[in-house]
Structure 1
Amino acid sequence: MATQDKILTVSQIAKFFGVSQKTVWEWCKKGLLPAFKIGKDWKIRQSDLQKMIHQKIHSPKAQEKLF
């Protein structure tokens, strides 16, 4: 049986990144987060967020900053 992906709210994402909810809304609107809307509310799949973070950490630009 497949497990369902956890859906995160703007509030949860804001708390995770230590930013305001308004900042997360702006990120969603600009396409900086892999978000989708349900009604008026932005939602983010946990697996999509994890993939995005992994890609950012392992990007060539991130690697350059380490050295």
Structure 2
Amino acid sequence: VYAVSVFHDENDNGEMDTNGLGIPTENFGCSNDAKGFMGPPNWKKAKFELSDKDKNIIINL
């Protein structure tokens, strides 16, 4: 069982930039398009199972 989160490092500084309130200023996304509220998304919403077969997931930023 896995969950994936990604962000677009637009300025290539190696980290996710945030504003003064800690809100990300660069695009990001999680598996299953899971959304968080005042923090990261819930594991149960983001998780998916990886079996012996190939699996493709789409993450919208």
Name the TM-score, length of structure 2 as normaliser: 0.27
Q: Which has the higher strand share?
A: 1
- Bigger relative CO (Cα 8 Å, ≥ 6 apart): 2
Q: Which has the higher helix share?
A: 1
Name the TM-score, length of structure 1 as normaliser: 0.26
